[in-house]
Copies of this chain bind each other. A is one copy, B any other.
Amino acid sequence: MKKRIIVDMDGVMSDLYHQLIALEKRDSGKELNVADLIGLTELEAFPNCKTHVHEPGFFRTARLMEGSYEAIKYLNEKYELYVVSAGMEFPNSLREKYDWLAEHFPFITWEQIVLCGSKKIISGDIMIDDYPKNLNHFQGEKFIFTQPHNQLLENEEYKRVNSWAEIMNIL
């Protein structure tokens, strides 16, 4: 039987830092550098992010995280894969996330998609996520996907992965 793998969307499959940096530039003219955001929470890095995430199209037009298409395609064949995204905080995002997946990952079926609030009730063998709060309750193997907000965190409970290329070498 295939192992079940749970993959997060925001900041893992989709590149939300790129999106937030572009909106900051549009609104304030400020050019932020990812290197300067390391160790800051998303709210510290992007004081306007709570407005931006509610903008129509925010999730729909996000670009792919580098290497995610190839890696998800590979994992989808090797594992029982589910995409689990905490979209419920932003109800506008629900349909956008569904449409984004349909466009960029057409091989993922509707049965494999979960939009939730808390991820506490999700069970599986492997989880890839950029937020410790999502990994903490998980019973299986935990991978934290490096994003600036988590880059300085150290925790022996989960393994750090810095790119999709690295994940494909491990899994």
User: Which of A's residues lie within 8 Å of B, judged by CB?
Assistant: 4, 6, 82, 84, 88-89, 91-92, 94-95, 98-99, 109-118, 121-124
CB-defined contacts of A113 to chain B, threshold 8 Å: 88, 116-117
Chain B residues with Cβ under 8 A from A4's Cβ? 121
Name 22 A/B residue pairs within 8 A (Cβ), A-sorted.
Answer: A88-B98, A88-B113, A88-B114, A89-B110, A91-B95, A91-B99, A94-B94, A94-B95, A95-B95, A109-B117, A110-B117, A111-B118, A114-B114, A114-B115, A114-B116, A114-B117, A114-B121, A115-B115, A116-B116, A121-B122, A121-B124, A123-B123
For A82, the chain B residues whose CB sits under 8 A away are 118, 121
Expressed in whole angstroms, the Cα–Cα distance for A95 and B90 within the complex equals 10
C-alpha spacing A82/B118, complex, angstroms: 9
Q: A110: which B residues are within 8 A, CB to CB?
A: 88-89, 91, 117
Contacts of A122 in B (CB 8 A): 121-123
Q: Which residues of B contact A114 (CB under 8 A)?
A: 88, 114-117, 121
- The 8 tightest CB contacts between A and B, nearest first, are A111-B117, A123-B123, A94-B94, A88-B110, A114-B116, A111-B118, A110-B117, A91-B98
